[in-house]
């Protein structure tokens, strides 16, 4: 009889303890299932992205581009509180066509291939400022669309001009020649 009283008095405590245990077990499995789902979604996304890059490479070659390199890194600098910091960015492709070099960024999905999507737009702007190329392209692997991207910055259209070593040497030679002629003229 006393045992029944002890059980009945502690029954609400037993139910509460069991409920807390079930919640903890449920939360643990929720965390495991959520991580597995997230990992699966990421794997699908990366697989589709890699597939999109293969499709883009084939498209670019068929369109007359020469693939110079893929996953081409550059090391831009950013000035933060009095110090320069270097970081790495990697574009999907460095290509060339008709003597002009370009960066091609490949995107898949519903929002990322849009040049007006904020993350994509910022990435393309960073490429425009960081790579020494004539053009930046965005390739939508789902619609098979190659878009030339340019930015208007402070009223100017930003088109990065590539450094031409031959023109530089020629300019130095002409400058030296003019200097020598002026020097010779003033010596007389």
pLDDT digit string, tens, across residues 11-42 = 566 676 776 777 777 777 677 777 766 766 65
Q: Name the CATH code of domain 40-179 (choices 3.30.70, 1.10.287, 3.40.50, 3.40.1350).
A: 3.40.1350
| Stretch 140-156: mean pLDDT | 83
pLDDT digit string, tens, across residues 36-85 = 667 666 566 666 667 888 898 999 999 999 999 999 899 999 889 999 99
Q: Are 112 and 139 in contact (CB under 8 A)?
A: no
What's the pTM value of the predicted model, to 2 decimals? Answer: 0.60
Domain boundaries in the chain?
A: 40-179
DSSP, residue by residue, 42-104:
HHHHHHHHHHHHHHHHHHHHHTT-EEEEEEEEE--EEEETTEEEE--EEEEEEEEETTEEEEE
Q: Are 108 and 79 in contact (CB under 8 A)?
A: no
Question: Residue 161 — very low, low, confident or very high, per pLDDT cuts 50/70/90?
Answer: very low
User: b vs e for 85-122, b when ≥16 Cβ sit within 10 Å of the residue's Cβ?
Assistant: eeeeeebbbbbeeeeebbbbbbbbeeebbebeeeebee
Residue 93: the pLDDT is 94
148 vs 138: CA distance, rounded Å: 7
């Amino acid at each position: 009889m006393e045992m029944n009283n002890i059980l009945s008095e502690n029954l609400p405590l037993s139910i509460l303890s069991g409920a807390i245990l079930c919640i903890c077990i449920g939360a643990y499995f929720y965390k495991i299932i959520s991580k597995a789902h997230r990992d699966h979604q990421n794997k699908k996304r990366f697989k589709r992205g890699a597939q999109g890059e293969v499709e883009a490479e084939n498209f670019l070659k068929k369109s007359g581009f020469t693939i110079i390199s893929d996953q081409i890194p550059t090391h831009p600098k950013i000035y933060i509180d009095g110090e320069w910091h270097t970081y790495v960015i990697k574009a999907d492709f460095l290509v060339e066509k008709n003597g002009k070099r370009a960066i091609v960024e490949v995107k898949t999905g519903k929002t990322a291939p849009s040049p007006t999507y904020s993350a994509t737009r910022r990435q393309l702007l960073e490429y425009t400022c960081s790579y020494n190329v004539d053009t930046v392209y965005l390739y939508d692997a789902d619609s098979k669309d190659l878009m030339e991207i340019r930015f208007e910055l402070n009223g100017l259209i930003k088109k990065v001009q590539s450094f031409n070593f031959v023109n530089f040497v020629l300019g130095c030679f002409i400058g030296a020649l003019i200097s020598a002629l002026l020097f010779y003229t003033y010596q007389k």
